[in-house]
Amino acid sequence: MKSLWNDNVAKTFTSDPLQLRVYTSRLLGQEPGLILHGGGNTSVKARAKNFFGDSEEIIFVKGSGYDLSKIHAKGFAPLRLEELKRMVTLERLTDTDMVRLQRLAMTDPTAPNPSIEAILHANIPFKYVDHTHADAVVTITNNKNGEALIRELYKDRVLIVPYIKPGFRLAKKIDEMTRNGDWNKFQGMILMHHGVFTFADDAQTSYERMIYLVSLAEDYLQKQGALDNIAKADSKEDLLTLSRIRRYISLEKGSAMLAKLDKSPEACGFAGLSNVESIATRGPITSDHLIHTKAVPVILGKNVEQEITDYSSSYKAYFDRNTDGHLTCHDLAPRWGIWPQHGTIAFGRSVKDTTVVSDIIHHTIRAIQWGEAIGGWKPLSEKQIFDMEYWELQQAKLRKDSISSELQGKVALITGAASGIGLACTEMLHEQGAAVVGLDINPEITQILNQQDMVGAHCDITDNRAVKKAVKMTIRCFGGLDILILNAGIFPDSQRIEDMDEKTWERSMEINLSSNQRLLKICIPYLRQGMDATVVFISSKNVSAPGPGAAAYSVAKAGQTQLARIAALELGCDGIRVNIVHPNAVYDTALWTPEVLESRACEYGCTVEEYKTNNCLKTEVSSKDVATLVC
């Protein structure tokens, strides 16, 4: 592992210890082998003036749940150092009281709750303290001979601390171990099954000690051949089964979930190991991951529904074995899965969730294989894992990020999404929590929709191969399909029947009718596996009240309406709802070019403004109005 310290950058912060703390915290956070998604914590001790102008010693501790890779000064909680140090002298302190006392010690009540390791940080007698969950180090501790291996590797450079649940008890234990000792003889601490602490009176030394200690662990694994002990294999694609897996997981969860498949050679190699069921179900790298991954994954095979049901039964039994009778069991759904020949799958309520879980999986499957190469993977015991999974202070992190949007976890596919009604529907579904893929013939769609959970795809819906590719992309991105909005269409130039050329007629039928039928046909197998699946056709008022010169458009939309009715009859037994809306006079869409507006106004013998407000309320209807009805 390489140091990212830059003297030129660091010297701009030398007069501000907190900003220097921010800088080195981000350096740690940029290395995923040290910290993942909100893990780890850092602190700095400094003097600051209080409201009355008196100088007092303050410790700035990373706020609970903050991501070190992006942290800023406001992400640190300022606490009076002496009050925090005194807490370790107490004989006992409940978690609830610890949080309360820590908040009472804060000098800024608007700051975030400090890390649960705040008391420990305060009692380490150095200005800068860094804590990570370094993969290489924790892998070595997660071994039946872990402590002996750590002692052999680091000699007297570090204090080795047996596993104790983080918080007051851990701080108390370390205080007892060091009360009559000399901190200066240590470069850091190794917490078994947990992580690494380093410390110093200057930021660079503390940071580079972390890099050094982790590098020693990496070098050890390299010499043992562990780093090269990573299985790899090719993947097979089965998107329909992936959508079934997502459905069964969602049903166990009680709400829609996204599924992110990793079919990389490493993921497929791990999933194909003959002993994968044994090694993957022993526990996580570190208990910090439990709030995202639960204790173990589901192992999938030929009967995915039964295997997910069996996982749920096993999880309930795990809860019953370990509960004290006062806890409430979480939902029974897994948060990740191992799918032999296909890879690994992350499950979550949002793209953010699946990204976090997927990143943790990537590091976990490597660490497990490293651990097997040096004597056997042996993480925490089941009881220790359970106590951390159901620890109130860990669950508080989840509640902080909890999301309850109406369509959270749903997946939507929308055509004609670059503008008008399609774009309005896309944005509204996204605001309500859905992950959305928008298709459009406009190549700018990929820039218009360019978020992780709102993806644009350039697609001509009359090209069946392109449409199939887009649907597959949707399933690969999010695991399934719940909402299909058929919106793409054209309004041909005004032509009376006797003057109409064949191309105008056929193009309208192809885009407004036939392409919708083909896309619906491709999507039906995935919609059957959706959660409360629904299809919405965006038709037109011209179906019931056509106008002269619009035969090509009106007839195609009438056919589309009949298609929707038959789809409702055929798909209702599968629980798929099919609805249709008939907008009228929605002029902020790509259909209504200035030329089309002018020609339609001429047909009615009125001005464009009169034509646009030709309704009882004499007002324009917007795309957003239609989207509100659809969504």
Phi, psi of 356 (to 5 degrees): -60, -50
pLDDT at 601: 87
Q: 257 falls in which pLDDT band (50, 70, 90)?
A: very high
Structure tokens at 413: 């596919």
- Distance CA(146)–CA(378), nearest Å, equals 9
Q: Which residues contact 313 (CB under 8 A, 6 or more apart)?
A: 332
- Using alpha carbons only, how large is the chain's radius of gyration in Å? 30
pLDDT over threshold 70, residue 409: yes
pLDDT at 402: 59
Burial of 141 (0-12, 13-18, 19+ CB in 10 A): buried
* Contact in structure between 120 and 141 (CB atoms under 8 Å): no
Look at 555 and 615; give whichever has higher pLDDT.
Answer: 555
pLDDT over threshold 70, residue 173: yes
pLDDT at 405: 83
pLDDT at 396: 65
* Contact in structure between 338 and 344 (CB atoms under 8 Å): yes
- Closest to 311 (Cα-Cα) out of 296, 330, 328, 323: 296
pLDDT at 372: 96
Helix (H) or strand (E) holding 172: helix 168-178
Domain definitions of the chain by residue range: 7-223, 239-400, 411-630
Same fold, 7-223 and 239-400: yes
- Closest to 190 (Cα-Cα) out of 226, 225, 223, 155: 155
pLDDT at 304: 97
pLDDT over threshold 90, residue 584: no
**Mean pLDDT, residues 190-205 taken together:** 97
Burial of 576 (0-12, 13-18, 19+ CB in 10 A): buried
* Contact in structure between 597 and 609 (CB atoms under 8 Å): no
Handedness of CA 587, 520, 628, 410 (dihedral sign): negative
* Contact in structure between 96 and 104 (CB atoms under 8 Å): no
pLDDT at 400: 56
Q: 38 falls in which pLDDT band (50, 70, 90)?
A: confident
Angle between helices 239-253 and 515-527 (to 10 degrees): 50
For the question of residue 128 being annotated catalytic, the response is no
Share of the chain above pLDDT 90, in %: 84
**CATH hierarchy code of domain 239-400:** 3.40.225.10
pLDDT at 616: 80
- Distance CA(155)–CA(135), nearest Å, equals 20
Share of the chain above pLDDT 70, in %: 98
DSSP string, 91-157: S---HHHHHHHHHHTBS-TTSPPBPTTHHHHHHS-SSEEEEE--HHHHHHHSBTTHHHHHHHHHTTS
pLDDT at 595: 86
Mean pLDDT of the residues in the chain: 94
* Contact in structure between 210 and 198 (CB atoms under 8 Å): yes
Measured CA to CA in angstroms, residue 460 lies from 411, 421, 467 at distances of: 21, 18, 7
Tens of pLDDT along 477-519?
999 999 999 999 998 888 899 999 999 999 999 999 999 999 9
pLDDT over threshold 80, residue 403: no
**Mean pLDDT, residues 253-275 taken together:** 97
* Contact in structure between 521 and 557 (CB atoms under 8 Å): no
Q: 399 falls in which pLDDT band (50, 70, 90)?
A: low
- Output b/e per residue, 473-492; b: 16+ Cβ within 10 A: bbbebbbbbbbbbbbbbbbb
- Tell me which DSSP letter residue 46 carries: E
- Output b/e per residue, 296-327; b: 16+ Cβ within 10 A: bbbbbeeebeebbbebbeebeebbeebeeeee
pLDDT over threshold 90, residue 54: no
End-to-end CA distance of the chain: 49
Tens of pLDDT along 64-104?
889 999 999 999 999 999 999 999 999 999 999 999 999 99
Of 64-68, 247-251, 426-430, the poorest mean pLDDT is in: 64-68
Look at 544 and 404; give whichever has higher pLDDT.
Answer: 544
Tens of pLDDT along 174-189?
999 999 899 999 999 9
pLDDT at 617: 77
Q: 358 falls in which pLDDT band (50, 70, 90)?
A: very high
pLDDT over threshold 60, residue 361: yes
Architecture of domain 411-630: 3-Layer(aba) Sandwich (3.40)
The amino acid occupying position 65 is G
The amino acid occupying position 343 is G
Query: Which of the following is catalytic: 154, 311, 553, 611?
Result: 553
* Contact in structure between 266 and 362 (CB atoms under 8 Å): yes
**CATH hierarchy code of domain 7-223:** 3.40.225.10
- Closest to 342 (Cα-Cα) out of 248, 240, 249: 240
Q: How would you classify residue 435: left for phi > 0, otherwise alpha for psi between -120 and 50, otherwise beta?
A: beta
Tens of pLDDT along 116-155?
999 999 999 999 999 999 999 999 999 989 999 999 999 9
Q: 35 falls in which pLDDT band (50, 70, 90)?
A: very high
